[in-house]
Amino acid sequence: MSTEVDAVVVGSGPNGMAAAVTLARAGLSVEVYEAQPTIGGGARTLDLGLAPGVTHDICSAVHPLAIASPFFVDFDLRARGLEFTTPEISYAQPLDGKPAALAFHDLEKTVDHLGAAGPEWRRFFAPLLDRVDDAIWLSLGDKRSVPETLRDLPGIANVVKFGLRLLSQASPAWNIPLSHESSQALFTGVAAHAIGGLPAMGTAATATMLSTVAHAGGWPSPIGGSQSIIDYLVADLEAHGGTVHTDARIDHVSDMPAARAYLLDTSALNAAQIFSGLIPSHVDKALRSFKHGNAAAKVDFVLNGPVPWSDPDVGRAGTIHIGGSRAQMAAAEAQVMSGRMPADPVCLVSDPTVFDPSREVNGLRPLWTYAHVPFDCPLDPTEYITRQLERFAPGFRDRIVAHNAIPASEMAGHNQNYIGGDIATGIVSFYRMMARPRTSWDNYSLGVPGAYLCSAATPPAPGVHGMNGWFAARRALKSRFGITEAPSLAPGD
């Protein structure tokens, strides 16, 4: 091993960088090691060589939690100069033969748009917007402590409100509180982000939280692409003395400098491999057996114009969920869970040029798409996604200039955490939100003094919110360095 540092972080995704920034701001020497030639993990923007100057968000694209999560609220990307664009329509759900269901940033506009379904949508979400931070903390907490915001009577009441709504959408009776096709489909498209059973606790929790945020801060995207988020984190790390090394794959702890703390923004399996022979056998077994979730397969398109949606309002949304009705999406996700490729998979789509004209170059624009597929599926997703887009946007094929497809079985090639296309770094179920990646009071500890897991394989859940890294870093500060007060993340500090 080389010269000792205070802390080593493996992986430069949002959680790894959140951990690194937190540690560096506490006055520690920090080094980050990234296996890829570019930094960012699940928040990278690259030129894939499909069209000169056209860049693509190769993992995440839309970031409601980059302004709403407690970590990013404190870090305050906007105050640092990062500009976000927040669409008037947070997300859209195209429907066969009828107008799409739209979720506006403004709740009352959504209610008006949904017509007969509007009152039930208001009844579901309006009570959660009274204190939206409660819903965010409930969803993004470490699942082991009670946040300050939830300790008073209004906070407890909001926990009950959130829990009742979650339970209603996690049971076979989920069609009672949302009884209209448009509201059902609109909610279910968000639930499908978790790529799991419908209905189920994990998917219902995802939809309840993200839909609430959509009517509060909205679902914004950073101007220039996801990479901008990482660039600001790296700049802050370097300003506080930290260093990032790229093309630096870590296979074992012996590949790293001696350090007092190691934080791994990796899969549970990779963490076990890195500390192979050093961690207790029961921890090693639990990490290696942490079940993978279902998968996503990615296609980045270059288009010569906007997507020709049958309902033009769909083109005003920042995110589009494609899958049709609630029943159709539930059936498609059930096939994925059983290991079968659905003919009409659930797809996520975003056209960044609609809100960020700088993404269009010489009349060409990127289109970001995912399809939900079985774990480790080797199939090229291009035709599946194209057919689904043609279903709601006839003539889409004629807009395609180039594309780059990554089957689920190859997703780990550009992000080592995405084994088999599992972009959540482990199954997302209600139990596995609590016991993630193993049943333990401290889900971040690897059972070795100073060794922590800080990736999406830990609580609270996947997403570009930095909370996993922040929680792990705060534990490291306390147990390894005797620093009990979390450092300020504010710009200028």
Question: How far is it, in rounded angstroms, from Cα 333 to Cα 236?
Answer: 40
Question: How far is it, in rounded angstroms, from Cα 265 to Cα 178?
Answer: 38
User: What six digits make up the tokens of 335?
Assistant: 């096939």
Report the SS3 class of residue 89.
strand
pLDDT by 10s per residue, the chain, length 493 = 455 899 999 999 999 999 999 999 999 999 999 999 999 999 999 999 999 999 999 999 999 999 999 999 999 999 999 999 999 999 999 999 999 999 999 999 999 999 999 999 999 999 999 889 998 998 999 998 888 778 888 888 888 999 999 999 999 999 999 999 999 999 999 999 999 999 999 999 999 999 999 999 999 999 999 999 999 999 999 999 999 999 999 999 999 999 999 999 999 999 999 999 999 999 999 999 999 999 999 999 999 999 999 999 999 999 999 999 999 999 999 999 999 999 999 999 999 999 999 999 999 999 999 999 999 999 999 999 999 999 999 999 999 999 999 999 999 998 999 999 999 999 999 899 899 999 999 999 999 999 999 999 999 989 999 999 999 999 999 999 999 999 999 998 8
Phi, psi of 433, deg, nearest 5 = -80, -30
End-to-end CA distance of the chain: 33
User: What six digits make up the tokens of 176?
Assistant: 């009672």
Question: How far is it, in rounded angstroms, from Cα 385 to Cα 182?
Answer: 22
How many Cβ atoms sit within 10 Å of the Cβ of residue 153? 7
Beta strands in 237-313 (DSSP E): 243-245, 259-264, 295-303
Strand partners, 295: 373
Question: How far is it, in rounded angstroms, from Cα 158 to Cα 156?
Answer: 5
Quick check: 185 and 96 in contact, CB under 8 A?
A: no
User: What six digits make up the tokens of 241?
Assistant: 């003395």
Is 136 exposed, middle or buried (CB count within 10 Å of its CB: 0-12, 13-18, 19+)? buried
Q: Give this prediction's pTM.
A: 0.96
Sign of CA dihedral 449, 451, 457, 463: positive
Question: How far is it, in rounded angstroms, from Cα 414 to Cα 121?
Answer: 39
